[in-house]
Amino acid sequence: MSNAPHRDQILIVEDEEIIRASLRKLLERHDYQVSDAVSIKAAADSFDFNNFALVISDLRLPGQLGTDLIEMVDPVPVLIMTSYASLRSAVDTMRQGAVDYISKPFDHDEMLLSVRRILSASKHRAIAAKTMGDIALLGCSEAIKKVTRVIPKVAASDLPILIHGETGSGKSALAMAIHRGRKSTRKAFISINCAGLKETELVNQLEGCKPSATIFLKNIAELALPLQPLLLRAMQTSQCRFICSSDQDLEKLCQANLFRKDLYYEIDVISIPMPTLRQRSADIPTIAQAILGHFDDASSGLTPEATEALANYQWPGNLRQLKNCLQQAVIMASPEEPIDAELIGFAEQPSTSEEIPRAVSTRSQEQSTAQNYDAPAGLSLADYFTRFVLENQENMSETDLAKKLGISRKSLWERRHKLGISRKKTDESLGD
C-alpha cells in the first residue's frame, strides 16, 4: 500500500478567469492540489466539499455571495477575496465565519502566507483533539466521511440510533459526537454498559434520566433476555433519545432467539456502521500523530517508514490497539528521537491481543523468549516492559534483552533508568 504524503486540496471559486487561473498556478507551484469553479452552484454540482482542506472564494459571485459558502462547506475553512476592500466589509465577512480576508489584486506572498497559516491551524486543531473520542473521528477517508456527514443530519432527531461495528472502532465516540452535534437539543449524556447489567441497575438509571437526556446503551447485544422487555417499555414511553451500540449481528441473534425481535426493530430505526481502522487506513497517520500528542513522554513523532508500517497493519483491535501499540513504542523509544519502523514493526500475521499488542519488533521463530512471554491480561505497557526485563535479565545479556524487545542497548539503559529497574551484576558475565 502506498502512503505518500497527502497534498492539501484547495477549491477556488472565482468567476474571473484571469484571477482564477493565476491563483491556481500560484498554488500548484507550491505543491497544493487545486480544483476550481466559476460559481457556488458549479462548485456544489461538481465537488464534494468534504474533500477539501480550504476553500478560497471571491466575495461577489454570479447570483450569490462567497460568504454563502461558509455554512455550506462547514467545517472546511473559507478564505474570502474581494476587490471591494474596506474595513466594514472585512469585519462583516469575518463575522459571518470567514477564516481570513484578502483584497484583490492580492500579493502572492500574502496569499501564500494566509493559506499556510489557515492549513496549519486546521491541522493543529486536529492534533490537539482533547479526547480519544475526538481522535476516533479524525481523517479524510471516504469511510469516515460517510459517518461524519451523517452526524449533523441525525443530531436533532429523536429517533433511536443503532451504531454497529467491531470492538475498538470508535462507536462510543460517534454516539457522543451525535449528542454534541450542533443541532442537538439534548443536555445530559448517560452511558449504560449492558454487559452484566442487573435489573435494579437498569431501572435506577432509566428512572433517573431527565427527558432531555441522551441514553447511550453500550454493548446492547449483551443485555440479558429478562431485561429486554423492560428496556423496550422504557423506549416506547420515555422522552429520552436512545443510542445503542453493538459489535455483534443483532439480526442473527434474533434468529437464534438470543435477542428479542421487537426490541431489535425498536432500536434499529437509524443504523450507522462504524468503519474498522483497516477500512480507513489513509486516516492512520493523522490519528497516530493525534494519539502521540496525548502522551506526556511522547517522542518527536514517527519516521516515514514507521508511518507506513502502521498504515499497512490490519489492526484487529482497531483504535484501541493502535493506542496501545503507540504507547508501548513511546516507552521503548529513545527520548526526543522519532519512533522508527523497527520499533513498531509487525509480524505478517496480525496480533489478536487488544490489551498488549505484539511486541515492538518484527518477531522471528528464534525470538521465542519474548514471543512466549505470557503477560497477564490488562497489564500496563510500562509493567509489561518491567516484568519482561526482570524475569529474563538473569539468563540473558543486555544485548539479547534489547534484541528481543526490538530496541537498542542505549534505549534499554534509558528505560531501565526511567522505570527504576536496576541491572544485575551477573549481566557482565553473559558475554556483553
Q: Is 89 exposed, middle or buried (0-12, 13-18, 19+ CB in 10 A)?
A: middle
More confident residue, 94 or 65: 65
Is pLDDT of 26 > 60? yes
User: In the predicted model, what is the mean pLDDT of residues 73-93?
Assistant: 69
Model confidence, pTM: 0.54
The reported pLDDT for the residue numbered 363 is 29
The mean pLDDT of the chain is 78
Least confident range of 333-342, 345-354, 395-404: 345-354
Question: Which pLDDT tens digit goes with each residue over 408-419?
Answer: 666 677 677 667
**95 pLDDT higher than 90:** no
Average pLDDT (343-365) is 40
Average pLDDT of 279-290? 90
Residue with the larger pLDDT of the pair 16 and 368 = 16
Q: Map out the domains of the chain with their CATH numbers.
A: 9-127 (3.40.50.2300), 134-273 (3.40.50.300), 280-430 (1.10.8.60)
pLDDT (0 to 100) of residue 94: 58
Quote the pLDDT of residue 432. 39
pLDDT of res. 383: 62
pLDDT of residue 355: 34
Residue 9: all three cell numbers together: 486540496
pLDDT on residue 139: 86
328 or 126, which is more confident? 328
Question: What are the backbone dihedrals phi and psi of residue 353, each rounded to the nearest 5 degrees, phi first?
Answer: -90, 135
107 or 88, higher pLDDT: 107
- Percent of the chain predicted with pLDDT > 90: 32
Using the predicted structure, report yes or no on whether residue 61 has a pLDDT greater than 60. Answer: yes
For the ranges 68-77, 125-134, 224-233, 273-282, the lowest mean pLDDT is seen at 125-134
Note the pLDDT of residue 351.
36
pLDDT at 348 (0 to 100):
36
Q: Output the pLDDT for position 164.
A: 95
Q: Which of 208-222, 256-270, 334-348, 386-400 has the lowest mean pLDDT?
A: 334-348
pLDDT at 368 over 50: no
- Name the range with the highest mean pLDDT among 193-207, 231-245, 307-321, 372-386: 231-245
pLDDT at residue 247 tops 90: yes
Q: Omega into 75 within 30° of 0, i.e. cis? A: yes
Mean pLDDT of 35-61: 90
Q: Give the pairing of strands 54-58 and 60-61.
A: unpaired
pLDDT number for residue 3: 38
Question: Closest Cα to residue 340, out of 308, 372, 364, 311?
Answer: 308
Residue 147 pLDDT class (50, 70, 90 cuts) = very high
